[in-house]
Amino acid sequence: MTRALDEARAAAARGEVPVGAVVVRDGTMLAAAGNRTEELNDPTAHGEMLALRAAAQILGNARLGGCDLYVTLEPCPMCAQAISLFRIRRLYFGAPDPKGGGVEHGPRIFAQPTCHHSPEVYGGIAETEAAALLKAFFRERR
Protein backbone atom coordinates (compact mmCIF):
# COMPACT_ATOMS: atom_id res chain seq x y z
CA MET A 1 0.00 0.00 0.00
CA THR A 2 2.99 2.28 0.51
CA ARG A 3 3.65 2.35 -3.24
CA ALA A 4 -0.04 2.99 -3.97
CA LEU A 5 0.08 5.97 -1.60
CA ASP A 6 3.17 7.23 -3.45
CA GLU A 7 1.23 6.99 -6.71
CA ALA A 8 -1.67 8.89 -5.12
CA ARG A 9 0.70 11.67 -4.00
CA ALA A 10 2.14 11.88 -7.52
CA ALA A 11 -1.38 12.10 -8.95
CA ALA A 12 -2.20 14.99 -6.60
CA ALA A 13 1.00 16.77 -7.68
CA ARG A 14 -0.27 16.52 -11.28
CA GLY A 15 -3.62 18.01 -10.25
CA GLU A 16 -5.40 14.66 -10.37
CA VAL A 17 -7.62 13.20 -7.65
CA PRO A 18 -5.07 11.41 -5.45
CA VAL A 19 -5.78 7.74 -6.05
CA GLY A 20 -2.98 5.24 -6.59
CA ALA A 21 -3.01 1.55 -7.44
CA VAL A 22 -0.50 -1.30 -7.57
CA VAL A 23 -0.80 -4.81 -9.01
CA VAL A 24 1.27 -7.48 -7.24
CA ARG A 25 1.88 -11.13 -8.07
CA ASP A 26 3.92 -13.51 -5.91
CA GLY A 27 5.29 -10.58 -3.92
CA THR A 28 6.52 -8.77 -7.04
CA MET A 29 5.05 -5.48 -8.18
CA LEU A 30 3.94 -5.76 -11.80
CA ALA A 31 2.46 -2.31 -12.34
CA ALA A 32 1.68 0.91 -10.49
CA ALA A 33 -0.31 3.95 -11.55
CA GLY A 34 -2.18 6.96 -10.27
CA ASN A 35 -5.18 8.76 -11.71
CA ARG A 36 -4.57 10.47 -15.06
CA THR A 37 -8.10 11.41 -16.11
CA GLU A 38 -7.31 15.10 -16.58
CA GLU A 39 -3.92 14.59 -18.19
CA LEU A 40 -5.24 12.06 -20.72
CA ASN A 41 -8.69 13.63 -21.13
CA ASP A 42 -10.04 10.17 -20.38
CA PRO A 43 -12.63 9.59 -17.66
CA THR A 44 -11.66 5.90 -17.56
CA ALA A 45 -7.99 6.65 -16.73
CA HIS A 46 -8.39 5.79 -13.05
CA GLY A 47 -5.29 4.49 -11.28
CA GLU A 48 -6.82 1.02 -11.02
CA MET A 49 -7.62 0.82 -14.73
CA LEU A 50 -4.15 1.99 -15.75
CA ALA A 51 -2.39 -0.43 -13.39
CA LEU A 52 -4.59 -3.37 -14.43
CA ARG A 53 -4.02 -2.67 -18.13
CA ALA A 54 -0.27 -2.37 -17.64
CA ALA A 55 -0.09 -5.63 -15.67
CA ALA A 56 -2.07 -7.44 -18.37
CA GLN A 57 0.37 -6.18 -21.00
CA ILE A 58 3.35 -7.30 -18.93
CA LEU A 59 1.89 -10.77 -18.43
CA GLY A 60 0.50 -11.00 -21.96
CA ASN A 61 -2.82 -12.12 -20.59
CA ALA A 62 -6.22 -10.48 -20.08
CA ARG A 63 -6.67 -12.52 -16.90
CA LEU A 64 -4.63 -11.59 -13.86
CA GLY A 65 -5.27 -14.72 -11.83
CA GLY A 66 -3.04 -14.90 -8.78
CA CYS A 67 -2.62 -11.11 -8.78
CA ASP A 68 -3.61 -8.74 -6.00
CA LEU A 69 -4.60 -5.09 -6.36
CA TYR A 70 -3.78 -2.42 -3.79
CA VAL A 71 -5.66 0.86 -4.22
CA THR A 72 -5.90 3.88 -1.93
CA LEU A 73 -9.66 4.42 -2.37
CA GLU A 74 -12.58 2.01 -2.62
CA PRO A 75 -12.95 1.35 -6.36
CA CYS A 76 -15.83 2.94 -8.24
CA PRO A 77 -18.36 0.68 -10.04
CA MET A 78 -16.40 0.87 -13.32
CA CYS A 79 -13.16 -0.19 -11.66
CA ALA A 80 -14.89 -2.86 -9.57
CA GLN A 81 -16.29 -4.44 -12.73
CA ALA A 82 -12.85 -4.30 -14.37
CA ILE A 83 -11.33 -5.95 -11.28
CA SER A 84 -13.83 -8.77 -11.73
CA LEU A 85 -13.14 -9.07 -15.47
CA PHE A 86 -9.37 -9.14 -14.90
CA ARG A 87 -9.95 -11.91 -12.31
CA ILE A 88 -7.99 -10.21 -9.53
CA ARG A 89 -7.46 -12.60 -6.61
CA ARG A 90 -7.49 -10.07 -3.74
CA LEU A 91 -8.43 -6.41 -3.51
CA TYR A 92 -6.92 -4.29 -0.75
CA PHE A 93 -8.18 -0.72 -0.49
CA GLY A 94 -7.58 2.21 1.83
CA ALA A 95 -10.38 4.72 2.34
CA PRO A 96 -14.04 3.83 1.82
CA ASP A 97 -16.02 5.89 -0.70
CA PRO A 98 -19.65 6.20 0.45
CA LYS A 99 -20.51 8.51 -2.46
CA GLY A 100 -18.77 6.88 -5.43
CA GLY A 101 -17.67 3.43 -4.28
CA GLY A 102 -18.79 0.28 -5.99
CA VAL A 103 -17.50 -2.42 -3.63
CA GLU A 104 -18.85 -1.77 -0.12
CA HIS A 105 -21.06 1.14 -1.18
CA GLY A 106 -23.33 1.95 -4.11
CA PRO A 107 -24.04 -1.02 -6.39
CA ARG A 108 -21.72 -3.44 -4.57
CA ILE A 109 -20.59 -5.00 -7.83
CA PHE A 110 -19.09 -8.16 -6.33
CA ALA A 111 -22.38 -9.02 -4.56
CA GLN A 112 -24.42 -8.92 -7.77
CA PRO A 113 -25.60 -12.24 -9.23
CA THR A 114 -24.32 -11.12 -12.65
CA CYS A 115 -20.76 -10.77 -11.34
CA HIS A 116 -18.76 -13.74 -12.61
CA HIS A 117 -15.71 -13.32 -10.37
CA SER A 118 -15.45 -11.79 -6.91
CA PRO A 119 -12.05 -11.19 -5.34
CA GLU A 120 -11.37 -11.41 -1.66
CA VAL A 121 -11.82 -7.85 -0.37
CA TYR A 122 -9.93 -6.17 2.47
CA GLY A 123 -10.76 -2.54 3.19
CA GLY A 124 -9.30 0.00 5.57
CA ILE A 125 -5.63 -0.63 4.71
CA ALA A 126 -3.78 2.64 5.50
CA GLU A 127 -7.22 4.24 5.58
CA THR A 128 -6.22 7.26 7.65
CA GLU A 129 -3.38 8.27 5.34
CA ALA A 130 -5.39 7.63 2.17
CA ALA A 131 -8.35 9.63 3.47
CA ALA A 132 -6.07 12.49 4.56
CA LEU A 133 -4.62 12.77 1.04
CA LEU A 134 -8.10 13.03 -0.45
CA LYS A 135 -9.35 15.53 2.14
CA ALA A 136 -6.31 17.78 1.67
CA PHE A 137 -6.67 17.66 -2.11
CA PHE A 138 -10.32 18.69 -2.09
CA ARG A 139 -9.82 21.25 0.70
CA GLU A 140 -7.29 23.07 -1.50
CA ARG A 141 -9.76 23.21 -4.37
CA ARG A 142 -12.66 24.66 -2.43
Distance CA 102, CA 96 (A): 10
Catalytic residue, from 7, 16, 48, 74: name it. Answer: 48
Catalytic annotation present for 48 = yes
CA quadruple 27, 128, 45, 16: dihedral, nearest 10 = -130
Distances (CA, A) of 75 to 49, 61, 122: 10, 22, 12
Closest CA to 5 of 135, 132, 140: 132
Q: Tell me, what amino acid is at 137? A: F
Show which residues are catalytic. Answer: 48
